[in-house]
Amino acid sequence: MKIVLIEDQAMFRDLLKKICCEHFHLSVVGEAEDAATGLAMCREHEPDLVLLDLNLPDRDGIAIANELLAMDPEIRILALSSECDDYTLYRVLNSGMHGYVDKNRQSLEMLRHAIDEVIQGRVFFAEVVQQVRQRLRMEPRAFPKVLSRREQQLLALLGGGLTDDEVARELRLSRYTVQLHRRTIMSKLDLHRTPDLIRYAVRRGFSKLNSFRERKEGSV
């Protein structure tokens, strides 16, 4: 089995490599600290398993997972992250990835167990993922129940503090359409003021997607 590691922290990447090589006797054919390099390595080596950090410096890790699965539906992906907000974990569950390890709370032994489960063709999702799934099922106005994918995308931008004009330019919509979406989203979530919308987006993790856009703009 061939493995590619996509992880921006060198120390953690070395730990992953040691586990894969010494504990599981697997072949690590590529190591990358950013999404662009990781995707290039996956195209070149066609790995069986990718250990993927979700918080990469250049792109959203879940978007990378979607791209990898589109390239090769048979590839197995284990996500590694300290992001445990509702929106991130909801996206993980709906991405087709085969597991999620919580960097903050899980032990080295649990990391080994997660890798073993995914290697064996099973799935492994940290307890926090199950907790979020249950909470979203029980909450009457949970965002997956009331917001379309388009509205979730708009919430990520609006909740990140962008103005209506900035969102309109980003999505190539009219300002009036953005304002209409804003009112609809607030009504569906039972929110009454724009600051409430921003707080909701921050608390649930929607606003984190804007960090990748800001990093990209800052590097231009």
**Mean pLDDT within 139-166:** 92
CB contact burial 146-179 (16+ within 10 A = b; e otherwise): bbeeebbbbbbbbbbebebeebbeeeebeeeebe
pLDDT band at 159 (very low <50, low <70, confident <90, very high): confident
Whether residue 112 has pLDDT greater than 90? yes
Query: SS in 3 state form for 59-109?
Result: CEHHHHHHHHHHHCCCCEEEEEECCCCHHHHHHHHCCCCCEEEECCCCCHH
Dist. CA 29–CA 78, nearest whole Å:
16
Query: Tokens 């003021």 sit at which residue?
Result: 193
Structure tokens at 81: 């992250």
Answer yes or no: is pLDDT of 217 > 60: no
How far the first Cα of the chain sits from its last, in Å, is 38
The letter for the amino acid at 209 is L
Q: What is residue 24's predicted lDDT score, i.e. its pLDDT?
A: 94
pTM of the model: 0.88
How much of the chain, in percent, has pLDDT values that exceed 90? 85
Q: What DSSP designation does 15 have?
A: H
Calculate ∠ Cα 205-207-209, nearest 5°: 95
Q: What is the pLDDT of residue 220?
A: 43
Q: Which residues contact 137 (CB under 8 A, 6 or more apart)?
A: none
pLDDT tens column, 45-91: 999 999 999 999 988 999 999 999 999 999 999 999 999 999 999 99
| Mean pLDDT of the residues in the chain | 92
Task: Map out the domains of the chain with their CATH numbers.
Answer: 2-136 (3.40.50.2300), 143-219 (1.10.10.10)
Q: Tell me, what's the pLDDT at 213?
A: 52
Q: Is the dihedral of CA 8, 11, 17, 20 positive or negative?
A: negative
